[in-house]
C-alpha cells in the first residue's frame, strides 16, 4: 500500500464493474515547504507611487 502512495485516507469509487482505490491528493500540498523568507523579493517594492493617490483617495468608486 505504501509503495502506491496510499495512506490512511483514500478515495474509493466504482467505475463500471471496477472498484478504484486512489490516494487522496491535497491541492497545493507542500507549496511552501521550501519557502525561505530571507530570499523573498518584495514584488511591490519597485512599483512607482501614484502621485495623485492621496488626493484621489476618497473620490473613486467601484
With contact defined as beta carbons under 8 Å apart, do 8 and 23 qualify? Answer: no
pLDDT at position 58: 65
Q: What residues form DSSP beta bridges with 18?
A: 15
Q: Which residues of the chain have pLDDT under 50?
A: none
Could you tell me the residue ranges of all domains in the chain?
Answer: 1-26
- In this structure, are residues 52 and 35 in contact, taking their beta carbons and an 8 Å threshold? no
Ordered DSSP codes for the chain:
-GGGT--S-EEEEEETTEEEEEEPP-TTTTTTTT--GGG---TTTTSPP-TTHHHHTTT---
pTM exceeds 0.75: no
Amino acid at each position: 500500500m505504501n509503495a502506491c502512495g496510499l495512506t490512511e485516507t483514500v478515495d474509493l469509487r466504482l467505475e463500471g464493474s471496477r472498484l478504484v482505490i486512489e490516494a487522496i491528493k491535497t491541492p497545493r500540498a507542500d507549496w511552501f515547504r521550501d519557502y525561505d523568507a530571507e530570499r523573498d523579493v518584495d514584488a511591490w517594492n519597485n512599483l512607482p507611487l501614484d502621485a495623485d493617490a492621496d488626493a484621489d483617495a476618497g473620490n473613486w468608486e467601484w
